[in-house]
Amino acid sequence: MFRSRLYAGCLAIACAVVAHASTISISDVTVLHQYQQTTNSPCVFDNSSCNQPAGFPAALLPVASSYDQDSLTYTVGQIRAIVGDSFFVGMDVNQTSTNQKLSLFSMSIGGALTDSTNILTVGGMEVPPTVGGGNGNGYADYILTGFTSLAGLDANTTVTFHVTMPVVNDGREQFFLLSNSAPAPTPEPITVALTGGGLLGLFLLKKRVAKS
């Protein structure tokens, strides 16, 4: 009796998590080559050309007319070591003249659904290549944002992803993790020139002192 009540309680909690899953938003990329797939931005769904860090494999999408695919199972520690606790997902589209469609992308933590797209269009949302016809292989055409942060979670907690695309053509897609942490600022040309000039001055001064 106690066991059945415990099971019912756990089921109710799981259902509550599913019912209150955060909504993942999708938006197209408008800047050419803005988000690139690299070993620092590993794929969770692969098209056989992803650059993966050691110990972080990806699920190879099938050559098919549709996807309904689970990712491999990761741990919070694996993801945290590569992209940190807060991330979004880049989607690289490959297609013919017929637009592909995405109807679901989701993330589950510890076996419970935590984040999911809410695409209400019939049959899914059309996802043609962006920025004048496509960013090229290895660059995101779309980004998926709104994922739950992994901060505070035990490193051994499991994380999985799922993608459903009812219309697929012209090869596989890539879905890759991108860190939310801001990139290091690029020095402005004048800063670089001043720094270089200062180092050169120190070198010449040291050389002059050595001669005297």
| pLDDT by position in tens, the chain (length 212) | 434 443 344 434 334 334 457 899 999 999 999 999 999 999 999 999 999 999 999 999 998 899 999 999 999 999 999 999 999 999 999 877 788 999 999 999 999 999 999 886 667 899 988 997 888 889 999 999 999 999 999 999 999 999 999 999 877 899 999 999 855 444 444 444 444 455 455 445 444 545 55
Terminal CA-CA length for the chain: 94
Residue 139 within any structural domain of the chain: yes
Tell me which residue range forms the domain holding 47.
Answer: 20-193
Q: Is 104 part of any domain?
A: yes
211: in domain: no
Assigned domain for 169 exists:
yes
Rounded to whole angstroms, the Cα distance separating 158 from 141 reads 28
Alpha carbons 171 and 63: distance in angstroms, whole number: 6
Please count the structural domains in the chain.
Answer: 1
Domain membership flag for residue 153: yes
Task: Examine residue 212 and state whether it is found in any structural domain, yes or no.
Answer: no
